[in-house]
Amino acid sequence: MYAYTDAERAKEEWRHRECAKYLRQQFESQPRGRHRDPAEYYAAGGVPIRAADPMPPAETFQAPPPTAALQREPTQHDKVWKVFEYLDTNKDFRVDSTEWKAGIQACRVPFNEPTIDDLFEKGASSTPDGITSSDWSGFARRYPMLVDCLYYRFVSAHSAEAEIRQADEAAPALTAAVRRAGNDEDQAKRDLEAEMEVVAREADALRDAEGKRGDAEAQHKQRQEGAAAAAKVRGDAQRTVQQQWPEIQRRNAETLQATRELDQAKRRIAEGNDREKRLRQALAELQEDRDRAMQEQAKAEDTLARLKAESQPDPEEELARADKDLVDSQRQEREAAVELTEAAQLAERQRFRRDEAERRANAAQNHADDRARAHEAARKAELANEKKKQQAENIKRLGPGMESEGVYTEAAEKENTYVTEEIKLRQQRDELERRENVLREVHDTFTSPRQAAGSSSPLRDHAYGSPSPPSFGR
């Protein structure tokens, strides 16, 4: 609770005095029963404020009438006079006992009848007809927590109808927003599922491309190994040719000579056959010559066969085969390199497509999350509006501060406790002040020179609450 300084308290007291004087002048200047509404007073012109009390030393300010509009953050002064305006239902600038009981009961303050009557008697200090504005100012200073409690509960009760109307007006828009948010969330989920299917397809295609790339790499490696082996074989064959070149030349010469002799023998056999056909008469002579030629042929064939059997594989032929194998291996290696490059490019393109699909899927996931959050926010707003309406309906049906029939809210329960404690403390303080006054009177009596000696003790009688007045000597 806010604690006033001395200067602020003096200023508030001055303001209350001026407001009370203004209201009293306005009320007494009009015939009884007319202009019950303060607005009618102002419309009728009213009576100007007469001589005012000197303003306490502080900044210059103008005291507003109690019906002035409240600020956004009401001050304690605004709360005090707003509560008075709420309690004064007939607008006669006086709160009678009926209005006081109705206001306390409407605010659901848990006071019994004696407490309500006792507070009314304390408030109506100047006249038993009701609590005037000047009485109310003093009452509010004595019970600030009670005034705060009445203010916020009056405001809550008066704003319940407006809150219900606002909740009803906002309900269709909130329901439509929830429906739109739900549709957006469902569409976002469908988009996300479609994008996830695309991601799965692209991932499968990427696995296939990676597999083809692996096969191409293995084949290229195999072709490289084959080309390297062919190059080695060719190198070995070339070295063999270089090492055995003289022997190769010799065998080549012998082979050539044997081939020539074989050709000569074949020609002689052919000539002999021709002569045999033409000269049958000289068969006996040529028979011997032919036999010799056949023997020579056999001898030459044996020599050629022996040379071939004795000779190793031809290094030149091996070199030629190695050259051919090397050319084939290099061609196959180039083909494998081209296939590997194509497979790598395909894998990169597929990876890019997979990454793009994942990016779209992430965007769809974020969009779906945003739609889900928007849907949840719309549902919360709708539930908050329904809760606000329910609370306003409870306030309208049960009264401010009530959670259900006979059950206060936690805040209202604490507020009731504070107000009850305030009233108890004020009673204790009043009792202490009463006793202090009694003791002061007794003290003054003892210090008076007219005090007479006697057996009775005024201090004892007052301290023990004797109903008889104190006895003094003559």
**pLDDT band at residue 312, thresholds of 50, 70 and 90?**
low
pLDDT digits (tens, 9 = 90+) for 419-453: 888 888 988 888 898 888 888 888 888 776 544 44
Report which listed range, 256-270, 283-297, 300-314, 385-399, is most confident: 256-270
The answer to whether the beta carbons of residues 68 and 24 sit under 8 Å apart is no
Helix (H, G, I), strand (E, B) or coil at 212: helix
**pLDDT band at residue 182, thresholds of 50, 70 and 90?**
confident
Note every long-range contact of 186-192, with CB atoms under 8 Å and residues 24 or more positions apart, other chains counting: 187/371, 188/364, 188/367, 188/368, 188/370, 188/371, 188/372, 189/368, 191/364, 191/367, 191/368, 192/361, 192/364, 192/365, 192/367, 192/368
Among 11-15, 90-94, 178-182, 323-327, the least confident range = 11-15
Residue 31 has what pLDDT?
52
Q: Tokens 């304690």 label which residue? A: 76
Beta-sheet pairing, 402-404 with 131-132: unpaired
What average pLDDT does range 49-65 have in this prediction?
A: 39
Q: How far apart are CA 242 and CA 182, in angstroms?
A: 88
The answer to whether the beta carbons of residues 191 and 423 sit under 8 Å apart is no
pLDDT digits (tens, 9 = 90+) for 69-88: 334 578 888 889 989 998 99
Scored b (16 or more CB within 10 A) or e, 210-230 reads eebbeebeebbeebbebbeeb
Using a 10 angstrom Cβ sphere, with 0-12 exposed, 13-18 middle and 19 or more buried, the burial of residue 12 is buried
Q: How far apart are CA 109 and CA 260, in angstroms?
A: 143
The answer to whether the beta carbons of residues 262 and 305 sit under 8 Å apart is no
User: Mean pLDDT for the chain?
Assistant: 77
Q: What's the one-letter identity of residue 35?
A: H
What is the residue-wise DSSP string for 141-161? HH-HHHHHHHHHHHHHHHHHH
What average pLDDT does range 38-64 have in this prediction?
A: 41
Query: Could you tell me what percent of the chain has a pLDDT over 90?
Result: 3
**pLDDT band at residue 302, thresholds of 50, 70 and 90?**
confident
Report which listed range, 213-227, 276-290, 401-415, is most confident: 213-227
Under DSSP, the state recorded for 210 is H
Q: How far apart are CA 237 and CA 454, in angstroms?
A: 157
**pLDDT band at residue 414, thresholds of 50, 70 and 90?**
confident
Among 204-218, 256-270, 442-456, 459-473, the least confident range = 459-473
Residue 63 has what pLDDT?
39
- Model confidence at 187: pLDDT above 80: yes
Closest-CA residue to 400 (of 2, 110, 198):
110
Q: What's the one-letter identity of residue 287?
A: Q
Q: Which residues are paired to 404 by β-bridges?
A: 407
The CA angle 85-88-93, to the nearest 5 degrees, is: 90
Q: Which residues contact 52 (CB under 8 A, 6 or more apart)?
A: 18, 21
The answer to whether the beta carbons of residues 369 and 206 sit under 8 Å apart is no
Helix (H, G, I), strand (E, B) or coil at 132: strand
Residue 471 has what pLDDT?
34
Helix (H, G, I), strand (E, B) or coil at 5: coil
pLDDT digits (tens, 9 = 90+) for 239-288: 887 887 887 788 778 888 888 888 888 888 888 777 767 767 766 666 77
Select the more confidently predicted residue: 36 or 395: 395
Phi, psi angles (nearest 5°) of residue 314: -70, 120
pLDDT digits (tens, 9 = 90+) for 356-383: 888 888 988 998 899 889 889 988 988 8
Residue 387 has what pLDDT?
84
- Show the beta-strand stretches assigned E in 166-290: none
Residue 222 has what pLDDT?
87
Residue 397 has what pLDDT?
75
What average pLDDT does range 133-143 have in this prediction?
A: 88
